[in-house]
Chains A and B, each alone.
Chain A
Amino acid sequence: MQSIVEVKNLSKHYKNISAVDKLSFTVYEGDVYGFLGQNGAGKSTTIRMLLTLIQPTEGSINLFGLKLNAYRKEILQSIGAIIEKPDVYKYLSAYNNLKLFARMSGAHRTEKELLQQLDMVGLKERAHDKVHTFSQGMKQRLGIAIALIHNPRLIILDEPTNGLDPQGIADIRNLILHLSREMKKTLLVSSHLLNEMEQVATRLLIIDKGKKLVEGTTAELFDPSQILIELETLNNAEAFKLITNSNWQSALQPKRNNSLVLKIHRNIIPDFHVWLVQHNIKILSLQSRHSLEDYFLQVTSGEQHVAAFAN
Chain B
Amino acid sequence: MWQLLQIELYKIFRRPRTYIAFGATAALITLMQFGLKVDGQEYADFMLQSLGSFDVQGKLLNGYMVCYILLQLLLVHVPLLVTLIAADMISGEANLGTLRLLLSKPYSRTSIILAKFFATCIYTLLLLIWVAILALFVSIFVFGTGDLFLMKTEYIVLIKQNDVFWRYCCAFGFAFVALITVASVGFFLSAFAENSIGPIVATMSIIILFTVLGTLNLPVFQTINPYLFTTHMVIWKEFFDEKVNVNNEAIAGSIQDMPQIIHSLIILSIYIIGLITATVWVMRKKDILS
Contact = CB atoms under 8 A, between A and B. Distances in A.
In the complex, are there CB atoms of A and B closer than 8 Å?
A: yes
Interface of A: 48, 51-55, 72-77, 79, 81, 83-85, 87-92, 96, 100-101, 103-106, 146
Given A48-B288, A53-B287, A87 B97 contact: yes
Given A74-B106, A75-B106, 8 more contacts: A51-B100, A53-B100, A53-B103, A55-B287, A77-B106, A87-B96, A87-B101, A101-B101
A256 B97 CA distance: 42
Contacts of B102: 104
A106 B285 CA distance: 24
Nearest to B98: A87
19 contacts: A52-B104, A53-B100, A53-B103, A53-B287, A54-B289, A72-B106, A72-B108, A75-B106, A83-B100, A88-B98, A88-B101, A89-B11, A89-B96, A91-B14, A103-B3, A104-B7, A104-B102, A105-B105, A106-B106
Contacts of B288: 48, 53-54
B108 A100 contact: no
A72 B7 CA distance: 21
B285 A92 contact: no
Nearest to A76: B106
B10 interface: yes
A52 B108 CA distance: 10
A103 B98 contact: no
B16 interface: yes
In the complex, which of the residues B98, B101, B107, B288 has the most CB atoms of chain A within 10 Å of its own CB atom?
B101
Contacts of A48: 100, 287-289
A52 B287 CA distance: 9
Given A54-B287, A54-B288, A87-B97, A96 B105 contact: no
Contacts of B16: 91
B96 A92 contact: no
Contacts of B14: 89, 91-92, 96
Interface string B103-118: 1111110000000000
In the complex, which of the residues B97, B103, B285 has the most CB atoms of chain A within 10 Å of its own CB atom?
B97
Contacts of B96: 87, 89-90
Contact of B7 (A74, A85, A90, A100): A100
A48 B100 CA distance: 9
A91 B96 CA distance: 10
In the complex, which of the residues A48, A83, A104 has the most CB atoms of chain B within 10 Å of its own CB atom?
A104
Contacts of B152: none
B234 to A, nearest CB: 35
Interface string B84-102: 0000000000001110111
Contacts of B285: 55
A53 B104 CA distance: 6
Contacts of A81: 101, 104
Contacts of A77: 106
Contacts of B106: 72-77, 105-106
Contacts of B104: 51-53, 76, 79, 81, 83
A55 to B, nearest CB: 6
A54 B100 CA distance: 10
A172 B229 CA distance: 53
Contacts of B289: 48, 54
A63 to B, nearest CB: 12
Nearest to A74: B106
A92 B7 CA distance: 12
A75 B108 CA distance: 12
B107 A104 contact: yes
Considering the complex of A and B, which 3 residue pairs feature the smallest CB-CB distances, nearest first? A87-B97, A51-B104, A53-B288
A73 B103 CA distance: 11
A20 to B, nearest CB: 12
A67 B221 CA distance: 53
A100 B9 CA distance: 12
Nearest to A92: B14
In the complex, which of the residues B7, B100, B108, B285 has the most CB atoms of chain A within 10 Å of its own CB atom?
B100
Contacts of B107: 73, 104
Interface string B36-71: 000000000000000000000000000000000000
B97 A85 contact: yes
A101 B287 CA distance: 21
Contacts of A53: 100, 103-104, 287-288
